[in-house]
Amino acid sequence: MSKLIAILLSGFILIQSLQISIDDIMQLDELIEHAQFHNQEYGDNFFVFLSKHYGELKAEHTEDNHQEQSDHEQLPFQCQGHHVSIVGIVQIPFRPSVDTFDINTASEANFHYLNLYASFNEKELLQPPRHA
C-alpha cells in the first residue's frame, strides 16, 4: 500500500513539474478531435499534427489557417509558463588564519551533583510475598 502511495505521489509531482493542469487533461478530447479533423482534411498523421500545432510548422500553419484559430485556442498545452531562475555562485577560496592560539588542557571540575529525586513511596514497587 505504501508503494502505491509513493508511486501516485511521484506521478503527481512529475505531472506538476511538467506544468500539466487539470484543464489540459480535460481538453485532451479536443486534441483528439482536431487530430482526426487534420487526418480527414489534410491527410496528416499524428506526428505531423503535433508538429503543426506544437512544433516547427506551427508558425506556418497559423498563418495559412486563420479560420481554425478558435479551434486552436481550445487545444491543451497552450499555456506558456515563463520561469526564470538565476543562480549566482561565488566561490571564495579558503585561507586559514595563521594566528596562534593556546589549547588549555587543564580542567577543573566545575559542577556538583544534587540528588533531587525524592520518592513518595519508600517501599519498592514489586515486593515478593513474605512468610510470617
Tens digits of residue pLDDT in 100-132? 767 777 767 677 767 666 665 566 667 777 776
Q: Is residue 40, in this structure, part of any structural domain at all?
A: yes
* pLDDT at 18 (0 to 100): 80
Q: Please provide residue 84's backbone torsions phi and psi, each rounded to the nearest 5 degrees.
A: -120, 130
Whether the CB-CB separation of 19 and 78 falls below 8 Å is answered with: no
CB count in 10 Å sphere of residue 53: 21
Q: Is residue 121, in this structure, part of any structural domain at all?
A: no
Range of the domain at 42: 2-73
CA 29 to chain centre: 28
Is the pLDDT assigned to residue 66 strictly greater than 80?
Answer: no
Task: Give the DSSP letter of residue 50.
Answer: H
pTM higher than the cut 0.85: no
* pLDDT at 80 (0 to 100): 64
Distance CA 12, CA 14 (A): 5
The domain tally of the chain equals 1
Q: Is residue 61, in this structure, part of any structural domain at all?
A: yes
